Amino acid sequence: MRQFWQSILHLWEAKPGFKAAAAYLMLLLLLALSLPWLPLPYPPNYLDLAHPYLPPFKDIVHPLGTDGLGRDLLSNVLYGARTSFMISVPVMLFATAIGMLLGTTAGFFGNDSLQQPRYSVLFWLLSFPAVLYFAVYLPLQVYQLEMELTYIILPVAALTGWLLLMWLLLNALQRFVPFLKLKMAIPIDKVVMRLTEALTSIPRFVLILALASFIPPSLFMLSLLLIFTIWPATARLSRAEMLRIKQLPYFEAACSIGNRPFQLIWRHALPNLAGPILIAFTFGLGGLLTLESTLSFLNIGVPTSLVSWGRTISGIRSNTSAWWLVVFPGGLLSLTIMALYTCSYYFTQVFSQKGRR
């Protein structure tokens, strides 16, 4: 990992383009985080009905103009950046973590290396529907109905009791049924690849539209939808890199001296995976910003109370002469995506060269 950070530091010192893009992104992120303490003249949703569609640079109070309801465009653009980062960064982090976990595990173990007793496999197969219902579905219902959090305690207690009871029964049963003691190979690579193929076979935007039609608009549900549709790309990349790393001499030497699978993945595989994953993260973050703005423009998934770049741009549909509703939020969105792609380009140059070595 030391070489990983040294490579980024070298980019910062030797590449002015990377330094400019990274500095812009850090400044924008800092600005988005410090918005509650900035002396903005108006909050983003304040309606100044006396000045609708005010052009920019005509009024000191509204330096970038207003939209059709008199909302200050400067506040909306800045808070739109905050919304974009608030959605995109956590979603991309969770999707990258899930994709890395599944892809690395699939590439390392394949279809034959991971073996477990049959009673243990049976326990996980029976537990999966219960976990989905008690730990995912019921808490989401509590969240959507805005019920008290104490209502989550009962499903969690029921799930815990069910899992404990099932484990005790299977553990007792395997003592009398020798068949359950036998180990079986878990085709984790095949399962992960079929799952990623199923998700990537449907266009992401179409899948999100279909799922969003059944779910009321909320930031949490939108984040879950995005994570659900984004992780396969990272999983495929992690699996391919893991298969490549397994063939390297240093990794084979680490296997030969008896390192455990966790040690092999954590100490020897992840440092080499960090570079490609960082490239995919920055590139995917740019695409996610575009997707979030598109969904906001179409008023899909994002609550109407949230300010976003896409929703601000959609105001042009009511007055096509209000060019500032597109230029300022659209320009900032384009500049942010360009900065992310610039960072991804320089990361690709550095880490692809190290990979060929």
pLDDT at res. 356: 47
pLDDT tops 90 at residue 340: yes
pLDDT at res. 20: 92
pLDDT tops 90 at residue 112: no
Query: What kind and span of H or E run contains 116?
Result: strand 115-117
pLDDT digits (tens, 9 = 90+) for 7-27: 778 788 888 888 999 999 999
This prediction has a pTM of 0.86
pLDDT tops 60 at residue 30: yes
Helical spans, DSSP H, in the chain: 2-14, 16-33, 73-109, 118-131, 138-144, 153-173, 188-200, 204-212, 219-246, 249-256, 261-263, 270-297, 309-313, 324-356
Q: Which of 40-49, 140-149, 208-217, 237-246 tops mean pLDDT?
A: 237-246
Average pLDDT over residues 304-333: 88
Cα–Cα distance for residue pair 85/25, rounded to 1 Å: 11
Q: Is the dihedral of CA 153, 156, 159, 165 positive or negative?
A: negative
CA-CA-CA-CA dihedral for 321, 323, 326, 331, to nearest 10: 160
Q: Which of 96-105, 183-192, 342-351 tops mean pLDDT?
A: 96-105
Cα–Cα distance for residue pair 90/288, rounded to 1 Å: 11
pLDDT tops 60 at residue 130: yes
pLDDT tops 60 at residue 353: no
Q: Where are the domains of the chain?
A: 2-112+188-356, 115-185
Average pLDDT over residues 261-269: 82
Structure tokens at 114: 């991971």
- CATH code: domain 2-112+188-356 is 1.10.3720.10
pLDDT digits (tens, 9 = 90+) for 166-192: 889 988 888 888 888 888 888 888 989
* Residue 148: other Cβ atoms inside 10 A: 8
